[in-house]
């Protein structure tokens, strides 16, 4: 536990040096939240996230990578790793077509891993300035998940075609504060398993490129693996460094 804690605190310390470099065409943000308690209960919570965007006139590439770790009295209670990559080809101003891939490894979800690949159409239906906008998208694709334990039919693999609906609303509350709402749902066409996720966050600048961020994440699975909850929630407080 001490090693993980030291590593997380060191990451916070070196983030400004790493992310502060000038990479033309790139924008992004790195964040880390650490909570450590001692006494009657020893608890460690570590949340990290890295978001990157590279944008040109016709192309926009986005990546997001995040991890969550929680330990209470030397027992791991949460461990999750997640990555998303998306490429957009822009046309007719605010419209775009996209290809998106996602992978998640959640130790306590009942899955060995969950993955999906989708493609579709999106549109920035509203924008005010550079920081306030509404993106909506719809697409189709394929989902492949592997269960930790076989289902009633002895299968561990879940494979099906899916439809995806998603939206992102960013609103600049002021020059130094931003509200963000993300919402997505992936609907299985064969197994009718629907995964819905909502993330609400507010971030406010502290000094320079450093901000404080509060976020609330909810994920609901309509047909969860046996022994797992259908809804997961996360409430986080983190330091965010934008570059």
Joined tokens for residue 81: 């790793």
Residue 62 pLDDT class (50, 70, 90 cuts): very high
Mean pLDDT of 127-155: 90
Structural domain that includes position 186: 2-242
Residue with tokens 């289902």: 151
Q: Which helix (H) or strand (E) holds 18?
A: helix 2-19
Q: Which long-range contacts (CB under 8 A, 24 or more apart) does 148-157 make?
A: 148/110, 148/111, 148/112, 148/225, 149/110, 149/225, 149/226, 149/227, 151/225, 151/226, 156/112
Mean pLDDT of 220-227: 81
pTM: 0.81
Q: State the DSSP code for 12.
A: H
Q: What is the pLDDT of residue 192?
A: 74
Report the C-alpha gap between 197 and 102 in whole angstroms: 13
C-alpha angle 150-153-155 in degrees, rounded to nearest 5? 40
Cβ contacts of residue 1 below 8 Å, gap of 6+?
42, 44, 71, 74
More confident residue, 233 or 11: 233
Among the residue ranges 20-34, 142-156, 214-228, the one predicted with the least confidence is 20-34
Q: What is the pLDDT of residue 124?
A: 95
pLDDT tens digits, residue range 113-131?
Answer: 999 999 999 999 999 998 9
Report the C-alpha gap between 184 and 213 in whole angstroms: 21
Q: What is the pLDDT of residue 8?
A: 43
Average model confidence (pLDDT) across the chain: 86
Report the C-alpha gap between 116 and 62 in whole angstroms: 16
Q: Identify whether the C-beta of residue 33 lies closer than 8 Å to the C-beta of residue 12.
A: no
Among the residue ranges 30-34, 168-172, 184-188, the one predicted with the least confidence is 30-34
Phi, psi of 6 (to 5 degrees): -60, -40
Phi, psi of 4 (to 5 degrees): -65, -40
Q: What is the pLDDT of residue 193?
A: 86
Give the CATH number for residue 110: 2.40.160.40
Residue 108 pLDDT class (50, 70, 90 cuts): confident
The highest-confidence range among 6-10, 53-57, 101-105, by mean pLDDT, is: 101-105
C-alpha dihedral sign at 20, 170, 164, 228: positive
Q: What is the pLDDT of residue 49?
A: 94
C-alpha dihedral sign at 235, 237, 238, 243: positive
pLDDT at 191 over 80: no
Structural domains counted in the chain: 1
Residue with tokens 């609400």: 200
pLDDT at 5 over 60: no
Q: Which long-range contacts (CB under 8 A, 24 or more apart) does 7-16 make?
A: 8/32, 8/34, 8/46, 8/48, 9/34, 11/48, 12/239, 15/241, 16/209, 16/210, 16/241
Residue with tokens 């090693």: 3
pLDDT at 16 over 60: no
């Amino acid at each position: 536990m001490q090693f993980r804690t030291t590593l997380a605190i060191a990451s916070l310390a070196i983030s400004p040096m790493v992310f502060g470099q000038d990479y033309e065409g790139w924008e992004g943000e790195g964040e880390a939240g650490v909570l450590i308690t001692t006494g009657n209960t020893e608890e460690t919570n570590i949340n990290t996230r890295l978001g990157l965007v590279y944008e040109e006139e016709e192309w926009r590439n986005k990546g997001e990578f995040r991890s969550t770790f929680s330990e209470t009295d030397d027992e791991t209670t949460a461990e999750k790793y997640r990555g998303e990559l998306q490429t957009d080809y822009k046309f007719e101003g605010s419209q775009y077509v996209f290809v998106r891939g996602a992978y998640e490894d959640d130790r306590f979800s009942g899955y060995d891993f969950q993955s999906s690949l989708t493609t579709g159409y999106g549109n920035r239906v509203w924008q005010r300035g550079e920081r306030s906008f509404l993106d909506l998208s719809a697409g189709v694709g394929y989902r492949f998940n592997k269960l930790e334990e076989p289902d009633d039919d002895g299968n561990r693999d879940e494979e099906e075609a899916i439809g995806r609906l998603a939206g992102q609303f960013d609103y600049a509350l002021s020059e130094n504060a931003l509200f963000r709402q993300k919402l997505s749902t992936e609907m299985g066409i064969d197994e009718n398993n629907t995964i819905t996720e909502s993330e609400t966050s507010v971030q406010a600048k502290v000094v320079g490129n450093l901000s404080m961020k509060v976020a609330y994440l909810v994920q609901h699975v309509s047909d969860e693996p046996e022994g797992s909850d259908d809804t997961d929630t996360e409430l986080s407080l983190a330091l965010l460094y934008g570059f």
